Structure 1
Amino acid sequence: MISIVVLALLPLDKAPLPEVSDKLQHITAFLVLAFLIDASTPEKSFNVWKVGCLMLYGLLIEWLQLQTDYRFFSLADLFADLAGIALYIFTIPVWKRLPPLSWRWSLSQELNT
């Protein structure tokens, strides 16, 4: 999470991967963060609290960017963050079938029984 904040606060001319769409970077970052927050608490399903925490984190990043004179607050970035979270939610059935990741849901079932 710290590295994402650092990357988000870099001046645009120093940002890595400038050829990759900013919105794609947001979607990818929040897809990964959604998995990480979900995997770190397997006893709970991916719920509104996890989504809320991620969106507050996205809002914090936008607010921090507003504090600089070289970045700005963007609602489009927040929607891209939400798109990354939604992509995670819609692809959970795929993740459950991948052997390297299926442990997260099997552990969840063990903890709930």
Structure 2
Amino acid sequence: MSEVQQEKRQLTIKTGVVQRLAKELGVYRQEADEQAVRVKQYASQGKDEWDVKKQEEILRDCQQMVPDTSRRLAAAISDLESCMNGLSSDSKGTDAYSTAMSALEYAKAQSSSF
């Protein structure tokens, strides 16, 4: 495998990781927001105490996933940036490079909105 092919493969893998983690972070945030609304609904509707506590437990679990995913995303962003900085000039003109750049911008926007 040539150097350009190896670089492209690594870039594609690292880009996929960043894209997946950025998507996960968005989903976890949305899930935590929805769960907070559900907890308030259960409490205001006078649902059984066990049901309310169970929903609060689910909310705590969702909220714990956000910082963990955010930390993993930050590490993946750093890894992708270092990979992109070490690329040869031949690799910087590929579609994989432009995809990595757009994924990086999206991921940084996701992580900064926390």
Tell me if both proteins adopt one fold, taking TM over 0.5 as the criterion: no
- Give the helix-richer structure, 1 or 2: 2
